[in-house]
Amino acid sequence: MPAPRTKFYQVGSFAVGNRLLPPEQRAVQAAPDRGNALTSGHRACRGCGEALGARYAIDAAIRATGGRMIAVNATGCLEVFSTPYPETAWQVSWIHSLFGNAPAVATGVAAALKAKGRTDVRVVGQGGDGGTVDIGFACLSGMFERGDDVLYICYDNQAYMNTGVQRSGATPPAARTATTPVPGGNAFGQGKNAPLIAMAHEIPYVATATVADLRDLEYKVRRAMDFRGARYLHILVPCPLGWVTDACDTIRVARLATESGLFPVFEAEGGEVTGVTRIRRRIPVDDYLRLQSRYAHLFADPPRTDVIARIQASADRNIRRFGLVD
C-alpha cells in the first residue's frame, strides 16, 4: 500500500492569507503591507459577516487604488459598530452622513475630486441592504443613471439588523424577522433583486460575492476598480444575530447559500452577465435553511415541506437562469 501523500496545510490551496503561494496569487490579506482598513476592537457581534466582508472589500480597494480612496458609509451596523466616538476603527478617509443618502454623498465626493482634478483618488460607497435597496434606492439609482465614478458596495444581511432585525426589501421569503413573525415569516413574491436592477442601468460593472469566497470578493473589488463610472458590488454577509446561526457558521452559511443556488455569484459588464461561479457541489436548500433558526418554523412539526419546495424552486430557477451547474 503506497504511503499517503502528506498534504501541508495551505500549500497549493488558495486559502486566504497564504504566504506560501507565489506573490501574484496571494490574497490581499497576505501582503505584509495590507491596508487594514478596519482595525480590530470594533463592536461587531462575534462572527459578523458584514465586518468580515467590509474589511476584505475595503482592504482590496485600498490595494487596488494604492490607498488613494475615500469611503462613504450609510447608517447601519457597519457604521455603528465601527465608529462610536472617539474610537473609529477606520484607517481610511471615511464619512458617514445619513441612512438613505450614501450613494448621493459619494456622488458629491466624486464630483469634488473631479472638479479638483484629483481623479487618482477613488470613491467607494457602502451600506447595508436596507440602506441600499430600500431607503437609499433612489439615490443609488440616480448615481447609476448618471454614471458617477463610484463603486457602491451593498453588504446584504437580508434585514435591518442595526435596529434589531426587521424586514427589508432584501429579506428572503419565509424568513422570520421582528416584523415578519411566525407563523409565515416573510411573504413570497416580494423583495428586490438589486444586482439585476443595477444591471438594468447598464452600468459598466455589477457583481455579487459572498464572505465564503474571499478571494473572489477581493478579485471583484479589484476588477470593479478597473472601470470608471458607476459600479455595484452586492456581497452576501450572514448575520449570526439576525439569522440565528452559530457565530462559527458564518462562512459555512454563506457557502451553502451559493451551493444551493439561492445566492448566485456572478459578474456583469454593461448589463450582460460575463461570468458565473459554478456550483461545485450542489446541495438542497434544506441544508442551508436548517442551519438558521430564522427558518426554524419550516422544520417544526409538521414541517412546511410546501414552503421549502417553493424556496427550492427559486434556487432551481437561479441555477437555470445563471447556468450555475454544468
Contacting positions for other proteins (CB under 8 A)? 67-70, 72-73, 79-80, 83-86, 88, 90-98, 100-101, 104-117, 121, 138-139, 141-142, 145-146, 148
Neighbours of 252 (CB within 10 A): 16
Residue type, 319: I
End-to-end CA distance of the chain: 36
* Cα–Cα dist 285/71, whole Å: 36
Cβ proximity to ligand TPP: between 99 and 232 the closer is 99
100 binds, among Mg ion, ligand SF4, ligand TPP, none (CB under 5 to 8 A by kind): ligand TPP
Instruction: Rule CB under 5 A: choose which of 125, 127, 128, 136 binds Mg ion.
Output: 128
φ/ψ of 214, rounded to 5, equals -75, -25
Contact 177, 294 (CB under 8 A): yes
Q: Rounded to the nearest whole angstrom, what is the least distance from the CB of residue 150 to other proteins in the complex?
A: 10
Q: Rounded to the nearest whole angstrom, what is the least distance from the CB of residue 155 to other proteins in the complex?
A: 17
Residues in the chain: 326
**Residue with nearest beta carbon to ligand TPP:** 128
Q: Which residues, 53 to 82, sit near ligand TPP by CB under 6 A?
A: 75-78
286 binds, among Mg ion, ligand SF4, ligand TPP, none (CB under 5 to 8 A by kind): none
Contacts of 175 (CB under 8 A, 6+ apart): 158, 159, 185, 186, 294, 295
Q: Rounded to the nearest whole angstrom, what is the least distance from the CB of residue 128 to ligand SF4 in the complex?
A: 7
Q: Which of 326, 102, 130, 147 is nearest to 239 (CA)?
A: 130
Q: Which residues, 161 to 220, sit near ligand TPP by CB under 6 A?
A: 161-163, 168
φ/ψ of 216, rounded to 5, equals -65, -40
Q: Rounded to the nearest whole angstrom, what is the least distance from the CB of residue 98 to ligand TPP in the complex?
A: 7
* Cα–Cα dist 11/317, whole Å: 37
Contact 195, 208 (CB under 8 A): yes
Instruction: Rule CB under 6 A: choose which of 136, 185, 240, 264 binds ligand SF4.
Output: 240
Window 222-261: contact mask with Mg ion (x via CB under 5 A)? ----------------------------------------
61 binds, among ligand SF4, ligand TPP, other proteins, none (CB under 5 to 8 A by kind): none
Q: Which of 53, 47, 232 is nearest to 132 (CA)?
A: 232
Q: Which residues bind Mg ion (CB under 5 A)?
A: 128-129, 157, 161
